[in-house]
Structure 1
Amino acid sequence: MAKTSSDPANATPEPSYEDALAELERLVAAMEGGQMPLDKLLDAYRRGAELMAICRSRLDAVEQQVRLLEDGQLKPWSGA
């Protein structure tokens, strides 16, 4: 599981919303299976929290763009 780094040269790009959601679903299924050792369970929980933050951020950005709809045109949005 790659983590993003504060060093831009070593930073790995965040996964797309779809990829983050698919990974989150796989983690949840593995965690629900009850066969994961405790240390791996904790790592999976942390990664799941990261993935949820990525998904929420992407959804918030899309919601902001949808709110900018005016007269049937999507206005440019300068958010991060």
Structure 2
Amino acid sequence: MPKPKPKTTAPATYEIALEELEQLIRSVESGQLPLEEMQAAYQRSEVLLAFCRDRLDAVQDQVGVLDDGALKPLNQS
């Protein structure tokens, strides 16, 4: 039986990534996955988690940039 390969493509949106991550967690926590599938799920979850963190960091950076109480684009001084 061939070893399952984890998906390496980035999800389209944060919400899609979060939903897939939650599904993977449920699958792993069920204890019903064979070892190779559990490893692939773990590797995919690392990709999804990094994607979500990057998106959250980008939003946090944008929200955190204030100029006299008004948001301004990040590229302005």
TM interval, shorter chain, is: 0.7 to 0.9
- Rounded Cα–Cα distance in structure 2 between residues aligned with 1:27 and 1:35: 12
What is the SS of the residue equivalent to 1:22?
Answer: helix
Q: CA RMSD in A?
A: 1.7
TM-score by length of 1: 0.76
More strand by share: 2
Matches within 5 A, 1:1-80: 2-4=7-9, 14-78=11-75
Size of the alignment, in residue pairs? Answer: 70
Amino-acid identity (%):
49
- Rounded Cα–Cα distance in structure 2 between residues aligned with 1:22 and 1:77: 29
Which structure has the greater CA radius of gyration? Answer: 2
Unpaired segments ≥5 residues, structure 2 = 1-5
What is the SS of the residue equivalent to 1:25?
Answer: helix
Unpaired segments ≥5 residues, structure 1 = 5-12
TM-score by length of 2: 0.79
Of structures 1 and 2, the one with the larger relative CO (CA 8 A, separation 6+) is 2
